[in-house]
Amino acid sequence: EKGGYDHFMLKEIYEQPRAIKDTYRGRMLVNEGIIKMSGLDQHMEKFLNANRIIIVACGTSWHAGLVAEYIFEDLARIPVEVEYASEFRYRNPVITENDVVIAISQSGETADTLAAIKLAKENGAFVFGVCNVVGSSIARETHAGAYTHAGPEIGVASTKAFTTQITVLTLVALKLAKEKGELSEDQFHQHLIELEGIPAKVEKTLEGNPLVEIIAEDYKDSDNCLYLGRGYNFPVALEGALKLKEISYIHAEGYPAAEMKHGPIALIDEQMPVIVIATRKGHYEKVVSNIQEIKSRKGKIIAIVTEGDEQVRDLADHVIEIPETFESLSPLLTTIPLQLLSYHIAVMRGCNVDQPRNLAKSVTVE
Ligand code: F6R
């Protein structure tokens, strides 16, 4: 049932090209230049008239929400707030009928997310669900939604759910951007073409697995680890750190790269691995100077770079290449080596990768 893989997590990491394709199949018609999503199409007015979008979720799904914040604001020019469901539900939040709430959940059973949805509905908001499990409580409780179609995710650490959530939310953002006239026909079409090519680029990124395994060997005994990214890849840094924490039990923190100098830089010494997402599109020069700051404090640098990069290669201890893509789609690629790194480190430390201690696949109690 693990399809020849040692663990469900690795199988699910490798399923991502297929899962992403299943997520956009039938919805994104590239030749015709259209996106069809019934849950969105039937409620287009709600989205177009929304004052803002509030995203509620927990854990990895919350990280997908943060990526979506960048996509919605950048492409569709709709203000977005991303909230931990557990905080939102108890905070007496200001919600009106003109708000659209998007709830993201792999399992569709997370208690805090479900409670946040009920609260939003009581206050008259329109609630849209992005779930993986068909017929789950959250799928039933929301007014409309779109499934991720990732297939069952068995490993407790969420992998393909994350990338397919980002895929669904990208489709929603693109469609809204087009409806609002924020993207020209041509720009819209270019995005569809690029998204269609992502599964092949994920495949290519997965070919870097042997290199990631070698790098893992060097850092498996670390006590701490820092993950840095900017813009679209800041949430990917958070997600990378969460993956490492939950399955290898190494303390890790994700940070916006520029925020490092406001505190975490004090942690950096020759023992500290720092994983930096430094792709060419997206504040590249700024990230390069952040890398220099780490290097001058003797931190060990593992950089995720765009194919052919030379500048970071000269500075970093290790580089892992990913194919070139649009900045807005880069999280779908940059997240892959981070999943693999956590996986290998956890296996090398003898951890139970698929069922880490103290964690449950779906958190149905608050
Ligand atoms: C991380 C992880 C958790 C879940 C979180 C939300 O790998 O699995 O952080 O992402 O419990 O779960 P769902 O998406 O089912 O609501």
For the entire predicted model, the pTM comes to 0.97
Q: What confidence category does residue 282 fall into, taking pLDDT thresholds of 50, 70 and 90?
A: confident
- Ligand 1 lined by 331 (C-beta under 6 Å): no
Q: Which two tokens stand for residue 273?
A: 């691995």
With a 6 A CB cut-off, is 113 part of the ligand 1 pocket?
yes
Cβ–ligand 1 distance for 105 under 6 Å, the answer yes
Catalytic residue list: 361
Beta bridge partners of 143: none
- The residue among 75, 87, 82, 122 whose CA lies nearest residue 103 is 82
Classify the complex by whether its ipTM is higher than 0.95, answering yes or no. Answer: yes
- Give the contacts of 351 (CB within 8 A, at least 6 positions apart): 247, 248, 249
Res. 364: pLDDT tops 90: no
Q: Which residue has the tokens 């993956």?
A: 243
> Chain-wide mean pLDDT for the chain?
96
Residue to mutate, 13, 89, 158, ligand 1, most ligand atoms under 8 Å from C-beta: 158
Residue 282 or 214, more confident: 214
